[in-house]
């Protein structure tokens, strides 16, 4: 977030201009306005608004102290409204206010809407007036949030890959034929990229394992780039998104394409009300269905906690292992063979013969048990996508897993490894 001063140097503190850049999206300029007469002038109106609005994605919010029919059809007497009405018409700004009064101070005999939230057409907001908030002001609290990169536009942050076009299950006729063709094209590209790397064996080093893991990921990501589709976060990714909102979005899009700005404003108001309704329904449904401590489920993923649960562990005859880090090191040192390193000779396994059990059947069974949406990692390749590539590169994947267990090595490009020691009743067999 950066404060822009050049455009507001003539108006003191009556306009504060901020440029906000969200990850993977275009910058948004936010103007905080207090339009009050001072020494016969209105300093807020001396800002370089032409230059500000040329930035394209602009939100103007604040106390305009203006009574106008453009945002308040029930106004009895217009005052101080001409400047802002002219700006709204000239730049085709969107008025986000509802018909709710924003000021109830002394002398507010009329239905007063003097605090406005305006934006350029490229911006979409979720706007609401918050009732019942105790503040030291006689103005109501206005709450708004920016939705996506525009109305329903996705961000640039990749959340998953869509490979449904390759899947033939449940498809018939021409649709099935197209899916088979796409799958074959993807398979040919993947096997070609993967075939450039020699397979691993029981004499491979940690460096060779890292290179094989990198080659596998590169083959998958390049194949997905060419033949898959990206999924990105957008407003429609929300749990509260409904079919009603989808229809309202179509109406809004039609009005925008036709440049019917009165219809745009009305469509946005309707969509805003429906969003508030959908959010409220989603939250109330969750509260009514949550049992016991389920209502606090999100805190398990958003709050840092010290892990104090689990079975007590000790290494040999030494002291008890405390904390997650000590337990992890103890398990790795005790149950996994040590890596011979890049220079050392690969000899007999130093911790057992578990690596010899790794074959296509075992890896296939374990991969098949994983939920399709699990373990997406930084590359967003989840277990469901990995199952598809497994059919095309079983030998390579098996040799990679086998070498990792043989060397006790976890490739750096993979996500963090978590080894869990399950507690079972009866004899301590793990």
Q: What is the 3-state secondary structure (H, E, C) of 112-161?
A: ECCEEEEECCCCCEEEEEECCCCCCCCECEEEEEECCCCCCCCCCCEEEE
Map out the domains of the chain as residue ranges. 2-146, 161-232+309-407, 236-290
Average pLDDT for 61-70: 86
H or E stretch covering 95: strand 94-95
Q: Which residue has the tokens 């399709």?
A: 372
DSSP category for residue 17: E
Is 155 buried (19+), middle (13-18) or exposed (0-12) by CB count in 10 A?
Answer: middle
Distance CA 211, CA 219 (A): 12
Average pLDDT for 80-103: 84
> What is the per-residue pLDDT for 330?
78
Res. 159 pLDDT band, cuts 50 70 90: low
> What is the per-residue pLDDT for 325?
75
Res 424 pLDDT > 60: no
- Tens of pLDDT along 310-352? 556 777 777 777 777 777 777 777 766 565 554 544 444 444 5
Res 152 pLDDT > 60: no
Best-predicted range by mean pLDDT among 157-161, 229-233, 364-368? 364-368
The packing angle between helices 394-407 and 383-392, to 10°, is: 110
> What is the per-residue pLDDT for 151?
42
- Tens of pLDDT along 366-414? 888 888 877 667 777 888 888 989 989 888 898 888 888 888 888 877 7
DSSP category for residue 98: -
Indicate the fold that domain 2-146 takes in CATH: Deoxyribonuclease I; Chain A (3.60.10)
CA distances (Å), origin 297, targets 85, 207, 302, 303, 371: 48, 41, 9, 11, 20
- In this prediction the pTM is 0.45
> What is the per-residue pLDDT for 347?
46
Res 97 pLDDT > 50: yes
- Tens of pLDDT along 249-308? 888 878 877 777 778 778 878 887 888 888 888 888 888 888 877 777 766 655 555 444
> What is the per-residue pLDDT for 188?
92
Whose CA is closest to 362, among 350, 372, 354? 354
CA distances (Å), origin 139, targets 126, 131, 135: 20, 11, 9
- Tens of pLDDT along 165-175? 888 888 888 88
Average pLDDT for 116-135: 77
Res 427 pLDDT > 70: no
Bridge partners of 3, per DSSP, are: 18
Distance of CA 124 to the CA centre of its chain: 18
- Tens of pLDDT along 187-225? 999 998 888 666 787 788 888 888 888 898 889 988 988
């Amino acid at each position: 977030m950066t404060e822009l001063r050049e455009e507001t140097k003539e108006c003191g503190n009556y306009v504060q201009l901020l440029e906000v850049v969200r990850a993977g999206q275009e910058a948004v300029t936010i103007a905080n306005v207090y339009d009050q007469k001072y020494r016969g002038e209105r300093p807020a109106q001396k800002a370089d608004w032409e230059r500000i609005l040329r930035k394209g994605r602009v939100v103007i919010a604040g106390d305009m102290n203006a009574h106008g029919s453009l945002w308040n059809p029930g106004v009895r007497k217009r005052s101080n409204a001409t400047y802002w009405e002219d700006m709204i018409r000239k730049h085709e700004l969107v008025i986000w206010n509802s018909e709710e009064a924003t000021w109830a101070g002394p002398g507010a005999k009329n239905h007063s809407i003097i605090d406005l939230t305006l934006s350029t057409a490229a911006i979409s907001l979720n706007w609401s007036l918050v009732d019942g908030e105790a503040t030291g002001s006689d103005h109501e609290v206005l709450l708004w949030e920016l939705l996506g990169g525009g109305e329903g536009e996705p961000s640039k942050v990749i959340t998953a890959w869509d490979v449904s076009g390759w899947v033939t299950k449940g498809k018939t006729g021409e649709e099935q034929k197209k899916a088979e063709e796409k799958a074959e094209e993807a398979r040919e590209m993947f096997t070609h990229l993967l075939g450039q790397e020699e397979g691993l064996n029981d004499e491979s080093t940690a460096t060779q394992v890292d290179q094989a893991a990198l080659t596998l990921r590169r083959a998958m990501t390049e194949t997905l780039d060419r033949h898959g589709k990206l999924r990105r976060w957008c407003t429609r990714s929300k749990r509260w998104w409904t079919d009603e909102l989808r229809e309202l979005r179509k109406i809004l899009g039609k009005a925008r394409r036709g440049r019917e700005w009165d219809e745009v404003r009305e469509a946005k108001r309707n969509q805003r009300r429906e969003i508030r309704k959908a959010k409220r329904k989603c939250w109330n449904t969750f509260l009514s269905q949550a049992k016991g401590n389920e209502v606090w489920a999100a805190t398990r993923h958003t709050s840092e906690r010290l892990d104090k649960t689990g079975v007590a562990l000790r290494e040999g005859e030494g002291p008890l292992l405390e904390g997650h880090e000590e337990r992890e090191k103890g398990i790795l040192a005790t149950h996994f063979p040590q890596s011979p390193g890049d220079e050392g000779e690969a000899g007999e396994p130093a911790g057992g013969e578990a690596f010899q059990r790794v074959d296509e059947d075992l890896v296939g069974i374990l991969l098949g048990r994983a939920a399709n949406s699990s373990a997406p990692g930084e590359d967003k390749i989840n277990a469901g996508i990995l199952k598809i590539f497994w059919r095309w590169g079983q030998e390579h994947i098996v040799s990679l897993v086998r070498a990792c267990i043989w060397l006790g090595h976890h490739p750096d490009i993979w996500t963090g490894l978590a080894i869990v020691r399950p507690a079972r009743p009866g004899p301590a067999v793990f």
